[in-house]
Structure formats: structure tokens, C-alpha cells
Amino acid sequence: MSYTGPDFDPPQPRRLRRGPLTVALAALVPGALLGWVVYEAVGGGPGGEDRTASSVPSAPASSPGDDGRPSAPAAGRPDSARPLTGMVVVVDPGHNPGNFRHTAEINRPVDIGTNRKECDTTGTSTNDGYTEARFTLDLAHRLRTLLQRQGATVKLTHDGDGPPWGPCVDERARIGNTAHADAAISLHADGSAAGNRGFHVILPGSVHAGAADTRGIVGPSRDLGVRVAGGYRRETGEPPSNYLGGGTGLVTRTDLGGLNLSTVPKVFIECGNMRDSKDAALLTDGAWRQRAAQGISEGIVSFLHGS
């Protein structure tokens, strides 16, 4: 692009002398041309087009906010680090450490839909006196911690600091229903004969009688149970029961009030046989209980996350 303006004399061939104005303008021309080139290069031309856009990387979609912190996930987008955010899990530690001192209260019959059954029982124990109620409460605390790390709201049916007995089986179911739990699990350990060992997960059968109607939860409860069984076996190495469930680790029952009266997906897990020496050695070991909690947690997360 050429420039012509007032008082500019094009150079003449073989001219030996130039006037003062010519010399001054000649000195200014390179600067003017350089300024125009820079102006155009940085986007100062018409429309503000960035001439160097192809050489400047665009900011990533997840670039930090103005305060330097990563931008929050968009509304409705799940937080991959806490996939259970907004979900509710009810954990039911089987029995209560104080039940054995309140036999009259726990023997009171309650309606479980199909019939009437005692409010609760004392549970079992190892031959050395480690009770099922102590085991389930410890396991529940470990499981709660793991699920909370995943973002879940976790409610326990009892926490060892409330009434010295119960709650009754119908109330345990009601706690999950009232919470509109996305999943519920009742933790237990069995008291079968020595030599019988392994775990099993109890699924609700189809019941429609009195206050009980499990027809809507049978399918999702089975899905939950299968996933819990898989996670539990993988993390603990505990085999499926050799005395119930035909080696599948899954048993369906219609005589448990905690399942019959549930309106949310729910299963029981019998974590092992407290009367078998091999299982008892595991159930009484804190490090193993942590693995048990991890396996159960993985099953619940898988169920709720749909993965």
C-alpha cells in the first residue's frame, strides 16, 4: 500500500540534495508503516478481527473462574467425585445391643403384612461372646462413612445412642419409607451350625397382603442385592453361603417385616456365620470389617449410579 500526502516529493533519480521537510518525512515513514502493520496484526482493523487467532489457543471449556478457582459444574451435571450427591441411603444395623435386657418389649408382636411377628430379637453371637448387634453397628458406621464420601445422605435406623432396645421391624421399614430412600440395607450376621459358612443376601419376595405390598420393589431390590453380593464377595473373599441359596449368595424371603413393609428398594445381608470358627475369625477382625463395608458400599454405589 502506497502513501501520498501533502509536501511529499517522490525521490528523483540522481538527486543529491533534499530539503529539510523531505528529510523529516522520510524519517517518519518507516515508523508509520510499522505502526500500521502492528495495528492490523492485533485486530485494530475494521470489525476488530483478530489476525493472529489461529496461533493463539482458545481457553479450555473448564477454565478457572475470575477468582482463579475452577468453575463449578453446570446445573444438573453430576459431580464425578461425589456421584451420590442428592441421594438417600438408609442403613439398618440389625438388632440392638440392649435388646437382651428388654425381652418383654422386643417380644411384642407387630404386623408385618403377612402375619404378626415379634418386634425384634436379640440376634446371635460368636462362641466368644461377640454379639451380632455390636458387629452390625460397627459395620454400619464404617459403611456410613464410605457412602458419605460419595455424597450420599445416610440415615441409620438406630445409632446406639437412642432407646436401649429396638426399633421394631415395622419401624425400621418405616424409617426408610419416610426418608424416601433411594436404597436401604439391613446388616446382619447369621447363627447357623458350625461348618455352615459364607454370606448371603436376602431379597424381598412378592407380597401383597395387609400393610405389605412389595410388588413395586422386587425388581430394583434384586438388582441392588446382586450388586451388593458382587461387591462384597470381591472385597472380602468371603464365599457365598454353602447352606442357603444354592451357591448363588442370594435368597428370597417373604417372612421378614423389614422387607415386607418396605416401599423402597431394600435387601438384607447376612455377612457370615458367627457360629463357624472360620467366619467368626473374620467377623471379629476390624480390618476385615472395613473391607466388608467397602464391598457393600461398592454395590450400593453401582446400583444408585447405574453403572
- Indicate which residues carry an active-site annotation: 270
Burial 9-39 (b: 16+ CB within 10 A, else e): eeeeeeeeeeeeebeebeeeeeeeeeeeeee
Read off the C-alpha cell for 175. Answer: 424409617
CA 45 to chain centre: 54
Cα separation, 105 vs 115, in Å, equals 18
Q: Three-state SS for 145?
A: helix
Chain-centroid distance of CA 213 in Å reads: 28
CA angle 244, 249, 251 (to 5 degrees): 60
User: What count of other Cβ atoms lies within 10 Å of the Cβ of residue 78?
Assistant: 13
